[in-house]
Structure 1
Amino acid sequence: MPVTMDEVRNFISQLPDATQVAQVQEAAAQRLGAIDKAALAGVVAGRRARINESLRPALLRGLTGTVQERNRTGTRAGFLLDEQSTRILRRDPRNGQPGKPKYRIPEDMTRFRLPGNGVPLSCLDVIEDD
């Protein structure tokens, strides 16, 4: 039987105690987790991806590369920039002061792996194969 959001809100507003509201909250959290897991299932090692607008620092937004291995919790992954994005990041004026860049990329390096504990999977958009 279809239920409207207004009916759901009304049902929740009439729950008699905090325990029952908490049970609804727990069910909602589990559902959100399942939705996130399904949405991020395609972000696997070896896939090409683009860093989306939700990542900070902003100078990494729009860069493309290859997803590497996920961390233990599966929420972040290493990211290897492609050649064009490596060049873009090397020359980006937002990459720190001259002589003191945030990301030090040697001139002879063609692909740069972003340092740190990886990029959040939610900040990666898979690029479909051409």
Structure 2
Amino acid sequence: MSITIDEVRGFIRQLPDAAAVAQVQEAAAKRLGALDKAAYAGILPGRRARLNDSLRPALLRGLTGTVQERNRTGSRAGFILDEESTRRLRTDPRNGEPGRPRYRIPEDTQRFRLPGSGIPVSCLDLVKD
């Protein structure tokens, strides 16, 4: 037996109190987490990927590199740009004012690790080798 979305919405509207709605919300959050985990299971350390168009800031979009470790929840991953993408980011005029770049990449750095808490895995598209 399959249940329609309209039936689910009707069920939720009939719930007697906030505690019951919170239980449904918790179950939905767990299900979304499981779906995300399955959708991005292939994004593993060592895989090549491209930063997709959903990532901000825009100057990082389209750059390529290697996926590093994922965070505790698996929602973000470290990312090291390849040589060409490191060069592109270093010279991109959108990378801030001269002398005050957003991403400071020394001239002798061939592969730049993007700083911060990692890239959302939803912003990584795997690249076929």
TM-score by length of 2: 0.88
Cα deviation, residue 92, structure 1: 0.6
Which blocks of at least 5 consecutive residues in structure 1 are unaligned? none
State the identity as a percent.
76
Give the drift of 1:11.
1.6
Q: 1:41-96 deviations in whole A, cap 9, x for unaligned?
A: 11110011111222222211111100011233433221111122112101110111
How many residue pairs get aligned? The number is 129
Deviation at 1:4, TM superposition (A): 1.3
Check 1:7–1:71 CA distance in 2 against 1; reply closer, same or farther (3 A cut).
Answer: closer
Indicate yes or no: 2:67 matched with 1:67: yes
CA 1:116–1:20: 2 relative to 1, 3 Å: closer
Tell me the secondary structure at the aligned position of residue 106 of structure 2: coil
Moved over 4 A (4+): none
Aligned CA RMSD, in angstroms, stands at 1.6
Structure 2 residue 105 is matched with structure 1 residue 94: no
Residues 30 and 103 of structure 1: is their aligned pair in 2 closer, same or farther, counting only changes over 3 Å?
Answer: same
For structure 2, the 5+ residue unaligned runs are: none
Rounded to whole Å, the distance in 2 between the matches of 1:33 and 1:11 is 22
